[in-house]
Structures are given as structure tokens and as C-alpha cells.
Structure 1
């Protein structure tokens, strides 16, 4: 009665009866459960349970924080590790196990081959490149794993060794035409499956690997109180860009540093496939398709291109945005872009293919993290600017080995680079020129013939 008589005046006799008869005298009610009770905390937990019940997909994901180590800007103050919340992910190996046991796995190609076509007109035979599993890269990797050593725990393994051709995609996506709501998913397909099946919306071939979080607003507040040079606008912009690179590779470090995945990458993992046969499956990352800035971060480089490019491919490649060498696959400088399409350009791409420069990056990080130099200080720029590198350790090379073909992994992204990118703008401009020359549109119609 004291509870009813105090506080809010909206508590009626009926509400009091319901409290006692339905809750306090319920056989499952325990007084100890109310120890440290907070209505706000209980409400938040209830809301979270409701969201998870409505989105059962999230139940398959793990949630964790991403640790990123940031420099203090002073040689007297040690670096500090910040924890970025909100990474939702699924272990890659768990996805592979589920994929090889899925009914769709009955259409997987485990043994690569070369495809040829003989013309009925001149009887000439030509090599056809159409799928991952008939590519030279798949054939080479398949031959390589046949010579791989068996794991120490199963030295006499006679199971068939097969490649799981992992193909990754990621792209930051706005969820609405208005507002700032966005999502940054990472997808995975398997190149063992035909692209014509993968492209079917209802095939179930696509697997969601992770959802990349954004840097929280509170990070800038923390850095402004701790970093000795954060008040300077140029240092602040450089440091926040460095934070985004460190976040991207911190995420991939979590995804790739799983001990079970690394063991499977070296020795393979035994999976009972849909046909009931056990095979030793070797996960291999063949392609990563992302927009240009995303690739920069993955390969770790800096680039000077048009303003209409997102920030993903540069993140993956660990290269600079607006740097001297614009390509995530080679070290050709911008002044030689004019030779694109020529034989000379093809030779340069092979001769100057990009590799991760461990020694330079290590020295640059020493200057930044130990000596207190800025992200773009003269000491750091002398080491990295020429190759458009950045002071971020690439997670793919770090976890999968220094011989990991990082440049080959970054494949062209036709949607951003051609269909919706700079080429689309150039093509529209060329059409305008044709209309200017022939207002009746006759020159435009000639394009169809």
C-alpha cells in the first residue's frame, strides 16, 4: 500500500492487485533476481531482445570491438589503443563449412580445367576464359595444394585436396535517400560455382561475412584531449584518415587471424561435402572487388583522381588517396597513364607490379609511433610518397604471408569504374558533343551501326 500511495498517482487498486497476484506470487518469481535492478537497463535489454527476434540473421553473427593503435604525436607519450565498437561478423571458415554442406555445393567444380572453342568457320581453336575454375590462377593453385604437406595431426591423409575459391565484395551503401543511415557489408561468393548461378538473386550463393562499423564521433573528442597535435587542422585530417585505414585492417586482422582459419589456409580443413565425400579444402582468396578508395586502403597507397570516387579500394590496398602512383596493382606513375592500352604499358604493369613494402612501412611507423613525427611529416614522406604507400600494416599480407598476391587480388570494379563512374560521365559528355555537332541526333544514331 505504501508503494501505491507514493510516487505516481496513476496506480489504481486494480494495478496493485495485478502486481501482487500475477508477479510477486508467481512460482517463478525470485526476490534475488531484483538485486541491482535498473528499469532503464532492463528496458534496453528488452529492446535488444526484440530486435534480435525480428532479425534472426543477426543471431549467426558475432559482435566485437576492433582495437586500433594510434600515435600520440609526441615521443614522450606512448601510443594508445582505442576500441571501436559495432563489428558484426561471421568466421570465414564457418561459412565455408556451411557452403560445402549446402545443396548448392552439388554444382561446385572441384577440379579445374581449360575451356576451348573451335570456330565452325575457320576451324581455329581458341582458349575461352569465362569462370574462375577454368582460369590459370585456379589451375596453378590447385596444382600447388596437391604438393602441400599433410597436417601433423593427420600425416597419412589421402583425401582429395580441393581449392575453395573465395571471392569478396564490399561497398558502403546508403540506406535511404534522406539522412545519413548507411551500411557497409562484406559479401563472399565461391568461385567454384558458375557465375550464372551466383548471379541468380535467389540462389543463396551469397554469404554475408561482416558489417563494417564507422568511427564513432566520440573518437575525435578523445583524440582532441590526448593527441598533442590534434588541434592543427592538417594533422587532424591526416590522423582521421589514418584511423580509417587502421580500422579497416583491424577488422580484416580479426577475420583472418583466426587460428582455425590460418591452420586451414596452410594445411586445409576436412569437410564432408554434400555428396557425402570428405575432402581437404584449402581456402584461397582469389578476388576482392571494391570501389577505388576501398582498394587503396586494402593495398595501402595514396591517389589523385576525380572527386567522385568512394574511399574503399584505397583502404584495402593500403595506398594513398591522391598519390603519385594511382593504381593498386602496379607502381606506374600518373604521368605514364597516357600510355594506357599500348604494349609498353602492359610491359610496365608486369615489371612494376606492386608489392607490400614491409621495411619502409616499419620504419615509417617507427618515426610516427616512437619518435612522434606526423603522419605526413618529411621523414615519413621520404619513405612512402614515391610509391604512394601509407604507414599501415596490411592485414592480408601480415596474416597470409609476405608472398600473398595482394595486387592480383584487387580486381577491377566495373560498376564504379565504368557503369557508374568516370567513364559514364565521359560517355555522357561525348554524347553532348555529338548533339552539338548534329542537333538532329544523326551522329548519335550512327553509334548503333
Structure 2
């Protein structure tokens, strides 16, 4: 107590108690270790200790590589050039899925889907509850579908339980500094087999970092300027095209042959409960803001058909929400026009036509398509994969920072327009 009440005035009773309980009474404490002790010397040693950089811990398990994009020459008799974009940080997709099924949250995984119903009190009526991916019709259909998938001949006698790995993806280009141009473009993955209430916990570990998409480096400008004969007049369209190519080149790299084999025939994983199961990865959702949906859907930004999911015309957007509008959107689901895209790429890469030239525009402008091969459709199968269903609503960007933000700003303006408007806004703010 004499030590507590003398010397520095910042010592408290709580700290004195903690000193006794956590240090002096600790089982591994030995008074001999404090012989010739100097707090100043120990702090100096701690300051000089080598501390790992945050990035090295943050990117542990990641690999770094470069991805190739095709750059047109703009001339009929000059072949295209391959430009390697460095700086793709990634984790193999299958390794992330293995980690998810065998990691700490493996006991929270739902291996089989089911339907959830709520029975009203004092009633026999049952209401279907929709809230988790593993209780949705899409998950149930995917689960039923993989039970019928034939196995390769070398594994035809496999009797393991077949399970859907419900892959949910997010990506968002993000600035990491208030000043300057430093930015990151991460891709995240979660498993829909795990409850959304666990996924929403910031320290649950349910969110897996999959990759960090690089940007076109400054050296690309020098390369394209010296290679493309019409760089000065077509610079904007060339850069836009190559950014689209980069996005899908990254996904082409991530969707490896091993992953495609697992997508078709499954991959055997020993789960956290010690039981081996055959896991079939399936993509259910990809949430992104509109500019990234444009890249993923390989369409034009705010073109004649601006929606990534349907072919409704821009001049019909004012009918949104009407019954007729819903019918039009349902009947005109966006499809991938593979033949038109291939012809347009032939015009650009073999014939030397401009990316936004007449020949390409006549093919693609009406549907707001672009001359970029869609990796998801090409790798996962045009007949079996529906890209329009993959791109779901991004609640943050499309509602909270979109519709609701605009509506709220309009309501504030209405309050300001009234008499004593400033006081009314203040009252609203106080609530």
C-alpha cells in the first residue's frame, strides 16, 4: 500500500490489484527474474525488436503472379500482343474451400438443405421462412442435381456423401488512403452453408480473402502507345477494353482446370468432424456495385440495355415497379451472345477494326454487350450457368447509398423549404 500511495499519482487500486493477481501470484513468476531489472532498458529492447509488417501477416498463404491480357494492334496484318499485368495476389479457390470445410467453423456447416416453416400461434397454418441460403429452393435444386452427376470412371465406385459448397462472392475496389491514389481491389468468399448470423460477426472468420485484383500499371501506357498505331485517337476505348480483359483474365486464372474438374465431379475433403465427403463447388451469388457488375456481366456502362440481368431498354426504366415492367424483365433475361462476341473479337484482333468501330457496334450495341469473353460463361458452361442469377442486389451501394440516400436528401430539402425549416431539420437530427 505504501507503493500505491507514493510516487506517481496515476497508479490506481485496480492496477495494484492486477499487479498482485496477474504478476506476483502468477504460477510462472520468479522474483529472481527481476534481478538488475530496468524498465527503460526493457522498453529500448522492445523498440528495437523486429516486428513483422502487417502486410506479411495479412497476406499469409497468398501467392503472387501476373495475368496476361490480349492487346489488339489496330492493324490488319499485325498480330495481337500479350501484356503481363503483375501484382495478382491470390489463394487457390479449392484451397479456400478445403480450409472452410475443415477449419474452425466446420461444425457450423449445413451439409444438407432443408425447408423451414413457421407455424402461427393458435393456428395450423404454416408459412415458409426464407432467410438462409441453405433453406432456399436454389440450394435444394443444386443439392438434388449433384446427386445425379455421373463420376469419372476411375472414381465410379465412390459412395461418399455428396455436398454442395455454396460459394458466395463479393468484390469492391476500395481506396485505402484519404490522400493519394492508393487502392485495393479485394475479392471475398463466404460459404452459404453457414448461417448469415455467423457470417455477420466481424471476428467469426467466416469471410475468406480470395484475391486482390491488380490495376493496369503505368508501363501499359508506354507499351500500348508504341504498339497500337491509333493509340492517340482510340486511347479511351483501348484502356476500357483492356480493363475488362483484365477482370476476366483474373477470373480465368482463378477458375483453374482443377477447380473445373471439382465443379463437375466434386472433390473429396475430410471435414472438421473427421468424415470424408465429396464436395461440389457451386456459385450462388456475386455481390458488387454497378460498375463491377458491368465488368462481370460484360456489358456497357449505362448502355442502351443498362441492366446486368435483363434486356430492358433505357427508355423504359421509368416504368420500373409496374406489372408490365416486371413481365418484360422476366421475359427478356440477359443472355451471353457468344457468337456475336466472337465475331466482334475477330474484327478487333484479326481485322484491325476499332473497338468502338462500326463493325463492332452493329453487332453489340443493341444489347449493350462488349467484345470481351465472359470467363464464367466460357469456363462453367454456357448451357448450364446463368450469369444473370449470379449477380444479386448489393444492399449497401444500391439501396443504402443509392435509393434511400437520395430519398432522405430529398426529404431534408423539403424540410428546409418549409417555414422555420432549419429548426425542423435540427429537430429531426436530434431524434
Task: Indicate the TM-score class for this superposition, using the shorter chain for normalisation.
Answer: 0.7 to 0.9
Aligned residues of 2:71 and 2:83 also touching (Cα < 8 A): yes
Alignment correspondent of 1:105: 106
TM-score, with normalisation over the residues of structure 1? 0.81
Alignment correspondent of 1:196: 197
Q: Counterpart of 1:346 in 2: which secondary structure?
A: helix
Alignment correspondent of 1:244: 243
- 2: CA distance, partners of 1:404 / 1:248: 19
Aligned residues of 2:412 and 2:425 also touching (Cα < 8 A): no
Distance 1:206 1:349, change over 3 A: same
Shift of 1:121: 6.7
Alignment correspondent of 1:336: 316
Q: Counterpart of 1:420 in 2: which secondary structure?
A: helix
Q: Does 1:176 align with 2:177?
A: yes
RMSD (Å) for aligned C-alpha atoms: 2.3
Alignment correspondent of 1:355: 335
Q: Does 1:429 align with 2:410?
A: yes
- 2: CA distance, partners of 1:121 / 1:428: 44
Alignment correspondent of 1:37: none
Shift of 1:59: 3.8
- 1: CA distance, partners of 2:150 / 2:397: 41
- 2: CA distance, partners of 1:321 / 1:281: 37
Shift of 1:136: 1.0
Distance 1:54 1:165, change over 3 A: closer
Q: Does 1:67 align with 2:68?
A: yes
Alignment correspondent of 1:205: 206
Of 394, 401, 420, 1:439 maps to: 420
Shift of 1:445: 8.2
Distance 1:342 1:372, change over 3 A: same
Distance 1:353 1:121, change over 3 A: farther
Shift of 1:342: 1.9
Shift of 1:335: 1.4
- 2: CA distance, partners of 1:300 / 1:54: 32
- 2: CA distance, partners of 1:444 / 1:351: 48
- 2: CA distance, partners of 1:438 / 1:411: 43
Larger relative contact order (CA 8 Å, sep ≥ 6): 2
Q: How does 1:37-116 map to 2 (within 5 A)?
A: 55-116=56-117
Alignment correspondent of 2:147: 146
Q: Does 1:279 align with 2:277?
A: yes
- 2: CA distance, partners of 1:84 / 1:74: 23
Shift of 1:327: 0.7
Q: Counterpart of 2:59 in 1: which secondary structure?
A: helix
Q: Counterpart of 2:163 in 1: which secondary structure?
A: strand
- 2: CA distance, partners of 1:118 / 1:445: 42
Unaligned runs of 5+ in 1: 1-48, 302-319
Distance 1:348 1:271, change over 3 A: same
Aligned residues of 1:329 and 1:408 also touching (Cα < 8 A): yes
77-86 or 151-160: bigger deviation: 151-160
Alignment correspondent of 2:373: 393
123-132 or 213-222: bigger deviation: 123-132
- Aligned pairs, how many? 380
Q: Counterpart of 2:89 in 1: which secondary structure?
A: strand
- 2: CA distance, partners of 1:442 / 1:426: 17
Aligned residues of 2:92 and 2:210 also touching (Cα < 8 A): yes
Distance 1:282 1:225, change over 3 A: same
